[in-house]
Amino acid sequence: MNLLFVADPLESFKIYKDTTFAMMREAQRRGHTLSACEPKDIMWQRGGHVTAFVRDIRLTGDAQDWFEARQKKPDERPQAIKDFGCVIMRKDPPFDSEFFYSTHLLEQAEREGARVFNKPRALRDHPEKLAIMEFAQFIGPTLVTRDASDIKRFHAEHQDIILKPLDGMGGMGIFRVRADGLNLGSIIETLNKDGEQSVMVQKFLPAIAQGDKRVLVIGGKPAPFCLARIPQGNEVRGNLAAGGLGVAQALSARDREIAETVGPVLAARGLLLAGIDVIGDCITEINVTSPTCFQEIFDQTEFDVAAMFVDALEAALALPRSAV
């Protein structure tokens, strides 16, 4: 089967830790053929199908020149997306307007017969910060607002809080404000743009010292290990992109309870892969655009998350379309 990966530029991959690369490697090992494009390579014109200008690639096993492409230029080979065995949407955040438009193009490709994972509509319906609202039984005190007075009242109640933009990624734009309220006003102004943008505010969870755990749910089922991303030094953020230390560990009973409750709901909506972020006993985010940590977990535990993913992908493709 020919798999199309919609992702960031291949040349930007750090293959020693890249989850999309791990997916590709396992798919090729099983005999699937690989193609790749970026969202900017997808187009639609009246009277035609949604088309991608793709590169057909083969993984070489070389750490430096890790792929070979048949095409010299991205626009050499256009192909209707519906003609691929499936499409794996792996464009990294941010979830901006262009990502949003890409989901609409991919949804049109679905209407033409394409199989897309994660499902484009589900990507739109589950913004990664706000998706937790549906599972309030698993989250700590949380506020979403653009109003400064609401945030100040929340701080007065909870004393130690975290503020973050709804469209942030990799820990960018996250602030902690303690009981003294130092710089709260200026932080609110920075994040809410004078009331023009909404902000998420959460009670600070001291369990972050033990890590911000990425619990991977694949085909509705949790992988048996998570990656606890532990803040270093005086940093409050555990994100790997912010310098956190990734430590793989077996799921706790609470992690499993969360994953086994939330996972089937997400899977039923077409989210084949999700990354649930858990601090202590609380969900803080649900990542659906391009969840990572496959390779870190494998390197430390030898549990092959990529194999679990491709198993789930192949099983989903074997189901009738109405069941996916």
Catalytic residues: 129, 164, 214, 229, 237, 277, 285, 287
Taking the C-alpha atoms of residue 128 and residue 133, their distance in angstroms, rounded to an integer, is 10
Nearest residue to 255 via CA among 293, 281, 285: 281
The closest alpha carbon to 138, from 270, 263, 290, belongs to: 263
Give the closest residue to 120 by CA, choosing from 291, 7, 271.
Answer: 271
Integer Cα distance of 19 and 9 in angstroms: 14
Residues with Cβ within 8 Å of residue 14, at least 6 apart in sequence: none
User: Nearest 5°: CA angle at 154, between 151 and 158?
Assistant: 140
What contacts 4, CB < 8 A, 6 or more positions away?
A: 35, 36, 37, 52, 54, 81, 84, 86, 87, 88
Pick from 82, 88, 78, 81: which is nearest to 113 by CA?
Answer: 82
What distance in Å separates the CA atoms of residue 140 and residue 82, rounded to the nearest whole number?
Answer: 42
> Cα separations (Å) of 102 from 95, 107, 116, 119, 266?
10, 8, 12, 12, 21
On whether the CB atoms of residues 294 and 241 are closer than 8 A, the answer is no
